[in-house]
Amino acid sequence: MNKNLILHQPEREAFPWQGSILAIYLIRLATIAFGVGTILVTTKLGNLLINPLVGLLAAALTAFNPMFLFVHAAVNNDALSIFLGSVGLYLLVTLWRDAPDPRRSWQRYLGLGLILGLGLLTKLSLAGLLLLTGLALALLSWRHKKWGYLIIGGLIVLLVALAIAAPWYVRNTRVYGDPTAMGVFIEVQGTRENPITWPDWVGEFGTFYRSFWGLFGGVNVAAPSAFYWIYNAVFVAGMAGFVLWLWRWRKKSSNSEDVAKGTKSGEQTSSSSQMLLDSGLWLLVAWVSLILILLIRWNIISPAFQGRLLFPAISALNVLLALGLLSWVSPARRRSLTQLVALLAFLMAAALPWITIRPAYAFPEPLTSVPEETKFGPIHFPIDDGEIQLVGVEVPPGQSVAPSGDPIVVVLYWMASQPIERDLLSAVNILGRSSQSVGHVNRYPAGGMVPTSQWEAGQIWRDVYRLFPSADATGPTRLNIRAALYDPTQKSDVPAYSPDGLPIDLLLVGEARLEANQPEFSATNELDVALADGIRLQGYDLNPESPSPGESLELTLFWQAMATPLQEYTVFVHLLDSSGNQVAGADSPPVNGDYPTTLWQAGEQILDEHTMLLPADLPPGEYGLAVGMYNPDSGARVPLAEGTGDTIQWTLVVKAAG
């Protein structure tokens, strides 16, 4: 994904602004106003439920959350949904605490319905707040034995919300046959190709917390890792402190300075759950939990596990965090802790634009030549009357990465030999086993900053790509790095040609290594035989154990590298008759060529599968199954490390067909 979501044209964006550029600035001003409103509501919520210090700290945690600032500096619907979610929650909390008669104070219920109706138009997740309102009014009716709260108050809220949102849902039904139009949105957004697994959750959790605290650009410009460590530590401390606060409530009277305002003076609170109910804090916990459940549900359907999607509940979450953080210190030190945390949050938020965002968007300068050691090709990409060339490649040797670990770094040098009028995308993929893509970067070249339509002839652009292997990529394996140019207008790759003018179907520019991501396995049939050049065969599995003529024999060899072999070897699997003659065979490089022996690392296990088809006229009986390795260039076999010979052999019984 590109760091810029749009291609900028400086001459159109210069002051005085006009047209769509002016509209964008006005909308950004509105989103800033919504952000200020959310901060104020957060303050009032903390003041209402706990005390001014909690309100102040919650406001600081909101205002100085870099992702919150980033969202409210952009054009999107998130800013309005965050504001409406915060205001709606505040109004619901006040209804819960005050329990106003809906016949006399109908305006308060109408106001909540207005906010919820606007929320239903803004983001579908805010429908959860409507459900929470129904639950709160039902509980309020049950507690006060007055069902008017639910029947009259609930009806006012529901009718007002529907009066605002219903026309939009009717329109969606007419146009798309779906009131929410989620089916159309999912078609555009896309769904998961396979059901989500536990490794997927683990791999995507990094994006989740990063996009809550600060993941900029197209959700691909990350802050330094220390930043996330600090904020995650604050979050854990706050949540643990909130649990501690609840535990302390069991032994404190309501006139303690920690007691929420909703409890009458002199009452003894023996149950933390009762306190949560009386004060209205349960609404904060319920709203955060509901938004999280909706996010998890959505992530099961489509890969979108982004922490910013929790922001409609950010006021609730930060009030709970602030309360938890202040619970760790004595009342005399709470003001100092509030000031310290607020100052730390402010300094980090103020620093990130300079240490992360500004460098990421530094405008690149074109080169006039390519470093000698990086020259490549040139590979030609002709389009219309112009041409782009790939003239250099940098792939640091020996790159070895783990799934969901550090990125593979690739540097490409692009040049416009003749100017073009189209804006092309660069596509760099890492290909794992069976040439399946296990990571990619698709974005505009030149760091996403200079569209190809603006390149001048002879300009060379140094372009750095960082590719992260997916969590479910199978290792160990060789990773081939593929490069291409993509034409979004034609929805296809631009044809590539070698320096000799020959077409290139798959342009590979380098390779790396993916480390193992699974525990070691034990072979059913153990051997433990060492070959020369640091190779050991631990054992094998057979399926079936006794095949019939015409059947396929699946053999899994359990290799172990004692050291990195010096050459690339091919594995031979031969079926020998009683005279030693070969009657069937299956020779291939290890792991079907996806993991050559020169990449093996000392101590790692390699599972190597081979399939051998037995001849249909093969007589039943005992045969020898011979296994080993050889140099494909010279044909010389790798000798056994001890004794003589170059073959590991065991007996295979072929049973009669039927």
Residue 313: closest CA among 93, 160, 51: 93
Contact at 8 Å (CB) between 197 and 472? yes
Q: Residues with Cβ < 8 Å from 16, sequence gap 6 or more? A: none
Lowest mean pLDDT among 206-220, 229-243, 280-294, 590-604: 206-220
pLDDT(486) > 60 = yes
Q: What is the DSSP letter of 637?
A: B
Lowest mean pLDDT among 258-272, 515-529, 573-587: 258-272
Exposed (0-12), middle (13-18) or buried (19+): which is 402, by Cβ within 10 Å?
Answer: middle
Which pLDDT score, from 0 to 100, does residue 263 have? 40
All domains of the chain, ordered by start, with CATH? 20-359 (no CATH), 372-514 (2.60.40), 525-654 (2.60.40.770)
In this structure, what token pair is assigned to residue 296? Answer: 């998890």
**Rounded to whole angstroms, how far apart are CA atoms 99 and 118?**
24
Q: Residues with Cβ < 8 Å from 181, sequence gap 6 or more? A: 172, 175
Residues 614-654 pLDDT 10s: 999 999 999 999 999 999 999 999 999 987 899 999 999 99
Residues 464-483 pLDDT 10s: 998 989 877 888 999 999 99
**Rounded to whole angstroms, how far apart are CA atoms 255 and 235?**
28
Q: Which residues pair with 388 in a beta bridge?
A: 381, 416
Residue 394: closest CA among 483, 457, 458: 483
What percent of the chain is modeled with pLDDT above 70?
95
DSSP for 126-140 reads GHHHHHHHHHHHHHH
Which pLDDT score, from 0 to 100, does residue 1 have? 53
pLDDT(258) > 70 = no
Provide the whole-model pTM: 0.74
In this structure, what token pair is assigned to residue 379? Answer: 């590979």
Residues 142-197 pLDDT 10s: 999 999 999 999 999 999 999 999 999 999 999 998 898 888 888 887 788 788 88
pLDDT(404) > 80 = no
Which pLDDT score, from 0 to 100, does residue 17 have? 85
At position 483, the amino acid (one-letter code) is: A
Q: Residues with Cβ < 8 Å from 339, sequence gap 6 or more? A: none
Q: Residues with Cβ < 8 Å from 310, sequence gap 6 or more? A: 212, 288, 291, 292, 295, 317
- Is the omega angle on the peptide bond into residue 495 within 30 degrees of 0, that is, cis? no
**Rounded to whole angstroms, how far apart are CA atoms 578 and 129?**
78
Question: What is the length of the chain?
Answer: 658
